[in-house]
Amino acid sequence: MEKETIPPQSDRPAKSLTAPDARSYRSLTLPLATALAGGLLLVSPLGSGFANFSYDLPFSMGFAATPDEAVVVYMDEESRVELRQSATQDWDRRLHTRLIRELTARHAKVIVFDVLFDHSSEDRSVDDDLAAAMKAHGRVVVAADLRYSANAGQPPAAKALRAIEPISAVTRWGVDQLPVDTDGAIRGMFQDADYASLAGQAALLFSNAPPDAPVRGWIRYYSHGEVIPRVSYHQALATNGLPAGFFENKAVFVGQEPTSGHLQGRGGDAYRTAESRWSGYAMPGVAIHATAFLNLVRGEWLTRLPPIAEFGLVMFLGWGFGWGMSMLRPRPAVCVGLLGIVGVPLVALLAVSAGRTWFSWAVVSGAQIPLAMIWSLARRAGPQLKAAPSLEATPTDRPAIPDHTLLRCIGEGSYGKVWLARSVMGTYRAVKVVFRDRFESDAPFDREFSGIKNFEPHSRSHEGFVDILHVGRNDAAGFFFCVMEIADDAVLGQQINPDTYAPRTLSRELAKHERLPSGECLKIALFLSSALARLHEEGLVHRDIKPSNIVYVQGVPKLADIGLVADVREAKSYVGTAGFIPPEGPGTTQADIYSLGKVLYEISMGMDRRLFPEVPYDLGEGPLDETLKDLNSVILKACARAPSKRYRSAQRMYEDLLGLSEKGKTPATRRPKNG
């Protein structure tokens, strides 16, 4: 069997059936793009914003928790004034001694100073008294600071700056550094193989056992720290200022609350947290340490999916949404996208709430799904952008057509061009010009001409055919042409504006809607099956029935692009468009019936031909779906894989459709009496 290159088509092209169809590649492009976009965002700095938002969102609603294991004592401005402390120097350590003795008397379980005691007092006895009070309590943790130094050619080395003697001899110490993200927020716990954190040391003393600390823990905040009891430093010193059991069996964190003045000691700064995005509240460092402590002793820290698992999940979700939306028409694709944008965060929130696990889901709902939605909308806009093609040509490119002026090229394929033309009578026509030099030999060129010659006598015998008004051939110039009636304009209908004209085709109608109404689909089916029956009666086959080859003339759908029409006895070339060609191949009346069935499937079900025989999930719920169900039964028979199970003729298919029309009172298109 001779192979022939398939002319590219306007809506779903296929250059050759010997190579993969271009649509099959396009169907993979979107899922690949969405999956790769997510993977790149995860491994690049550009994705940090998505990850931060994924972590922060759950805290916009807060967590229902009332931890009671900790209390924060703030060295705030009110206490500084009340206790007559300097705004530019360290607080008098004798106050800390008094506080420790007061907390010891009130049975505080652990005392944590987010204060760096890194230099001695002028009076050594002050430090001795403070150390004695700490020793008497027995469970005191003080802050240490990491200092980094680098030698030439060596990576920076960390060294802990600890409290002075005698304080360091009677206390535990923990690093009070907080890991700051690129946006200045604190999200993760301090983790270091060589040094323990302030919160970790406090949890160790509080629980009398090493806490089950995470390898990489993420802080779970409790409503901006407001659920953690807090008190001013001067109130904690008062013997009768607080209830008797206020500090009993609690871990008491002592640190500075930021003010407009400069306060020395670690913890004096305020930091952005996951909650700051929603509240604008900057949280004191000591409160963040207290929160991390509560996470550890209560086992409530958050964990992030391992990198490999997170990468795989994001790639999988991106591929899934991309593939699913590429299979849908723009409107349902956008609906699915919107559901995904809302649904993915809801599932992620449930994962945080129930399993305390999070991942960078914002990459999916904030980047991958919108990419797929934009792609779908662009696909919808594509046919409309093509509505006024700018295939302009210079006068020398326009072949001479007797009694016609070629105005503008409105379409081009592998073998020739279609022109908008004006006759000497001022009537607009479509002129198809096919060039010999675009064929490898004379045989396919002559076959193309034979198709038009075979069809021309019959073109005006049925209202479902595009009328061929004249056929001519210029062997000296190397082309032949046919003059046809003009299709309606895609926008203006029967009014033709030569500057903006583009033919109204079934593919363009389908691009404007999710699917066509069932009544309209039935009318189209009647017109086309009737026309196909007439074509077959004349011993001809179309071989390339698809939405872009069906045009509207004065509102009537007609079979067009008759370049591949051939005598059924001579249709040996393997031509057509993938997805509309039956398993046994083209070139028979049964193959034309199969192609028409696939056209009806796309316009009635709103689904790609490759998804046949799937039907919409809501089929059966609409008031007109009874007609759609009946039409689907005709489609199933027309598109049966085995030719023996299909309609034996297009006439039989037409008669079944006519029966549906009479059943549903749909105005029928009856065949001419001589048909």
DSSP 8-state assignment for residue 302: B
d(CA 296, CA 462): 83
Higher per-residue confidence, 409 vs 576: 409
Same-domain status, 497 and 587? no
pTM over 0.95: no
Under the banding of pLDDT at 50, 70 and 90, the label for residue 381 is low
Q: Which of 225-229, 484-488, 636-640, 667-671 is predicted least confidently?
A: 667-671
- The whole-number pLDDT of residue 215 equals 56
Under the banding of pLDDT at 50, 70 and 90, the label for residue 151 is low
Under the banding of pLDDT at 50, 70 and 90, the label for residue 302 is very high
H or E stretch covering 119: none
From 477, 502, 527, give the residue that closes a domain. 502
224: phi > 0 → left, psi -120 to 50 → alpha, else beta; which?
A: left
Backbone angles phi, psi at 642, to 5 degrees: -85, 125
Higher per-residue confidence, 625 vs 674: 625
Q: Is the pLDDT confidence value at 311 over 90?
A: yes
Mean per-residue pLDDT, 274-302: 88
Tokens 């590649």 locate to 25
Mean per-residue pLDDT, 594-611: 89
Q: Is the pLDDT confidence value at 339 over 90?
A: yes
Residue in 511, 422, 434 with CA at minimum distance from that of residue 478: 434
Residue-range definition of the domain harbouring residue 356 = 26-57+305-380
d(CA 669, CA 675): 13
Percent of the chain with pLDDT over 90: 39
Question: What is the rounded average pLDDT for all residues in the chain?
Answer: 82
d(CA 457, CA 144): 98
The top-scoring range by mean pLDDT among 109-123, 383-397, 530-544, 570-584 is 109-123
Under the banding of pLDDT at 50, 70 and 90, the label for residue 671 is very low
Higher per-residue confidence, 673 vs 241: 241
d(CA 498, CA 408): 8
- The whole-number pLDDT of residue 138 equals 94
Residue in 72, 79, 83, 161 with CA at minimum distance from that of residue 114: 72
Higher per-residue confidence, 16 vs 191: 191
Q: Is the pLDDT confidence value at 590 over 80?
A: yes
Same-domain status, 663 and 529? yes
Report the SS3 class of residue 243: coil
Residue in 110, 117, 182 with CA at minimum distance from that of residue 143: 117
Is 390 a domain residue?
Answer: yes
Amino acid symbol at 98: R
- The whole-number pLDDT of residue 664 equals 61
Report the SS3 class of residue 87: coil
Same-domain status, 275 and 357? no
- The whole-number pLDDT of residue 242 equals 87
Under the banding of pLDDT at 50, 70 and 90, the label for residue 16 is very low
Same-domain status, 637 and 521? yes
SS3 percent helix, strand, coil of the chain, rounded to 5, is 45, 15, 40
Q: Is the pLDDT confidence value at 495 over 90?
A: no
d(CA 581, CA 597): 11
- The whole-number pLDDT of residue 2 equals 40
Same-domain status, 626 and 673? yes
Q: Is there a cis peptide before residue 613, judged by omega within 30 degrees of 0?
A: yes
Under the banding of pLDDT at 50, 70 and 90, the label for residue 639 is very high
Which two three-digit tokens encode residue 23? Answer: 């649509």
115: phi > 0 → left, psi -120 to 50 → alpha, else beta; which?
A: beta
Q: Is the pLDDT confidence value at 569 over 70?
A: no
Same-domain status, 580 and 454? no
Q: Is the pLDDT confidence value at 252 over 90?
A: yes
Which two three-digit tokens encode residue 609? Answer: 């031909």
Backbone angles phi, psi at 26, to 5 degrees: -65, -35
Same-domain status, 515 and 477? no
d(CA 583, CA 581): 7
Higher per-residue confidence, 264 vs 119: 119
H or E stretch covering 156: none
Is 94 a domain residue?
Answer: yes
Same-domain status, 222 and 275? yes
Under the banding of pLDDT at 50, 70 and 90, the label for residue 389 is very low
d(CA 332, CA 317): 18
Same-domain status, 168 and 310? no
Q: What is the DSSP string of 550-595?
A: EEEETTEEEE--GGG-EETTT--SB-S-TTTS-TT-SSSHHHHHHH
- The whole-number pLDDT of residue 463 equals 85
DSSP 8-state assignment for residue 367: I
- The whole-number pLDDT of residue 623 equals 55
Same-domain status, 519 and 623? yes
- The whole-number pLDDT of residue 539 equals 83
Q: Which of 18-32, 465-479, 522-536, 661-675 is predicted least confidently?
A: 661-675
Is 140 a domain residue?
Answer: yes
- The whole-number pLDDT of residue 225 equals 55
Under the banding of pLDDT at 50, 70 and 90, the label for residue 84 is very high
pLDDT per residue as tens digits for the range 219-236: 998 875 578 899 999 999
What torsion, rounded to 10 degrees, do the Cα atoms 663, 664, 665, 666 define? -120
From 380, 410, 436, give the residue that closes a domain. 380
* Total number of domains constituting the chain: 4
Q: Is the pLDDT confidence value at 1 over 80?
A: no
d(CA 156, CA 382): 56
- The whole-number pLDDT of residue 239 equals 72
Mean per-residue pLDDT, 168-174: 92
Same-domain status, 488 and 559? no
Q: What is the CATH number of the domain that holds 621?
A: 1.10.510.10
Number of residues assigned to the chain: 675
Cβ–Cβ under 8 Å, residues 257 and 245? no
Amino acid symbol at 550: I
Is 161 a domain residue?
Answer: yes
- The whole-number pLDDT of residue 396 equals 43
Tokens 């009891």 locate to 229
Q: How many CA atoms lie within 13 Å of 522's alpha carbon, on the beta-carbon side?
A: 27
Q: Is the pLDDT confidence value at 24 over 80?
A: no
From 299, 324, 347, give the residue that closes a domain. 299
Same-domain status, 494 and 512? no
Is 158 a domain residue?
Answer: yes
- The whole-number pLDDT of residue 102 equals 94
Q: Is the pLDDT confidence value at 135 over 70?
A: yes
Q: What is the CATH number of the domain that holds 463?
A: 3.30.200.20
Under the banding of pLDDT at 50, 70 and 90, the label for residue 529 is very high
Which two three-digit tokens encode residue 350? Answer: 């449930």
Q: Give residues with Cβ within 8 angstroms of 537, minimum separation 6.
A: 651, 675
Residue in 64, 72, 65, 67 with CA at minimum distance from that of residue 290: 72
Under the banding of pLDDT at 50, 70 and 90, the label for residue 309 is very high
Mean per-residue pLDDT, 598-615: 88
Is 494 a domain residue?
Answer: yes
d(CA 531, CA 538): 11
DSSP 8-state assignment for residue 188: B
d(CA 230, CA 244): 15
Is 584 a domain residue?
Answer: yes
H or E stretch covering 627: helix 625-638
Is 474 a domain residue?
Answer: yes
Mean per-residue pLDDT, 87-109: 93
Higher per-residue confidence, 627 vs 253: 253
Mean per-residue pLDDT, 135-142: 96
